[in-house]
Amino acid sequence: MNALVFAALLVPAGLPGAATAQPGSGQSLPVLAQYTAPPQRAPPAPPPPTPSVAPPAAPTQAPNAQAPGTPTPNAPPPNARQAPASRSARQPAAQNPDDVPEVPPPFQANVSDPLLTPAPPAPQQLQSWNEALTLLRQRSTDLQAALGQIEVAAGTWRIALANLLPSVGGELSAQYNILNPNIPAVGGGVGGGVGGGVSGAEGFTPTQLLGIGVLTANVPVVDLANLYALGSAKESRRTASLSLAETRRQLTRGLAQALVSVSSNERLAEVNRVNLRTALERLALAQRRYELGAGTRLDVVRVEQDAQSARRNVVTGDENLRQAREALGLALGTPSPVGIKPGLDLNTFLEGANAACRTLESLENRPDIAAARSRQVVAERAIGEVKRQYAPTLDITSTTTGLTVNPGFAQVPIWNVGASLVLPFWDGGAREGLLRQARGQLEQARADVTNRERNIAVEVTQAKRAVQVTRATRELADRERKLAEENDRLTRRSFEVGTGTSLELVQSAGALRQAELELVLRDFQFRQALVDAFLSEAACDW
The predicted structure's pLDDT at residue 478: 94
pLDDT in tens, 173-219: 998 888 887 776 555 444 444 444 344 445 568 888 888 999 999 99
Instruction: Indicate the range of 60-64, 106-110, 312-316 predicted with least confidence.
Output: 60-64
What whole-number distance in Å separates Cα of residue 443 and Cα of residue 376? 9
Nearest to 256 by CA among 536, 537, 532: 532
Confidence category of residue 378, pLDDT binned at 50, 70, 90: very high
In the chain, % helix, strand, coil (3-state, to 5) comes to: 60, 10, 30
What whole-number distance in Å separates Cα of residue 153 and Cα of residue 169? 26
Confidence category of residue 295, pLDDT binned at 50, 70, 90: confident
Q: How many CB atoms lie within 10 A of CB 526?
A: 20
What whole-number distance in Å separates Cα of residue 255 and Cα of residue 338? 12
The predicted structure's pLDDT at residue 43: 38
Instruction: Indicate the range of 21-35, 198-212, 240-254, 287-301 predicted with least confidence.
Output: 21-35
Which residues lie closer than 8 Å to 251 by C-beta, 6 or more apart? 136, 140, 142, 143, 331, 540
The predicted structure's pLDDT at residue 171: 93
Confidence category of residue 26, pLDDT binned at 50, 70, 90: very low
What whole-number distance in Å separates Cα of residue 162 and Cα of residue 145? 25
CB 504 within 8 A of CB 491: yes
What whole-number distance in Å separates Cα of residue 463 and Cα of residue 533? 5
The predicted structure's pLDDT at residue 369: 94
Highest mean pLDDT among 21-25, 45-49, 488-492: 488-492
CB 343 within 8 A of CB 128: no
Rounded average pLDDT over 319-337: 93
The predicted structure's pLDDT at residue 304: 92
Rg (CA), the chain: 52
Percent of the chain with pLDDT over 70: 76
The predicted structure's pLDDT at residue 98: 52
CB 303 within 8 A of CB 502: yes
Nearest to 329 by CA among 147, 121, 126: 126
What whole-number distance in Å separates Cα of residue 78 and Cα of residue 73? 13
The predicted structure's pLDDT at residue 89: 44
* C-alpha dihedral sign at 317, 320, 325, 328: negative
What whole-number distance in Å separates Cα of residue 352 and Cα of residue 346? 10
3-state secondary structure of 45: coil
Instruction: Indicate the range of 27-36, 53-62, 182-191, 260-269 predicted with least confidence.
Output: 27-36
What whole-number distance in Å separates Cα of residue 338 and Cα of residue 271? 21
Q: Which residue has the higher pLDDT, 65 or 379?
A: 379
* C-alpha dihedral sign at 66, 67, 68, 71: negative
The predicted structure's pLDDT at residue 96: 57
Percent of the chain with pLDDT over 90: 51
pLDDT in tens, 415-450: 999 999 999 998 889 999 999 999 999 999 999 999
The predicted structure's pLDDT at residue 106: 60
Confidence category of residue 37, pLDDT binned at 50, 70, 90: very low
Highest mean pLDDT among 75-79, 503-507, 529-533: 529-533
Q: What is the DSSP annotation of 146-192?
A: HHHHHHHHHHHHHHHHHTTS-EEEEEEEEEE-SS-TTS----HHHHH
The predicted structure's pLDDT at residue 87: 42
Distance between alpha carbon 502 and the CA centroid of its chain, in Å? 37
The predicted structure's pLDDT at residue 286: 87
Three-state secondary structure of 57-111: CCCCCCCCCCCCCCCCCCCCCHHHHHHHHHHHHHCCCCCCCCCCCCCCCCCCCCC
DSSP annotation of 379: H
The predicted structure's pLDDT at residue 65: 41
Confidence check: pLDDT of 97 > 60: no
Q: Which residue has the higher pLDDT, 226 or 349?
A: 226
pLDDT in tens, 145-185: 999 999 999 999 999 999 999 999 999 999 888 888 777 65
Confidence category of residue 107, pLDDT binned at 50, 70, 90: low
Q: What is the mean pLDDT of the chain?
A: 80
Q: What is the DSSP annotation of 269-329?
A: HHHHHHHHHHHHHHHHHHHHHHHHTSS-HHHHHHHHHHHHHHHHHHHHHHHHHHHHHHHHH
The predicted structure's pLDDT at residue 15: 37
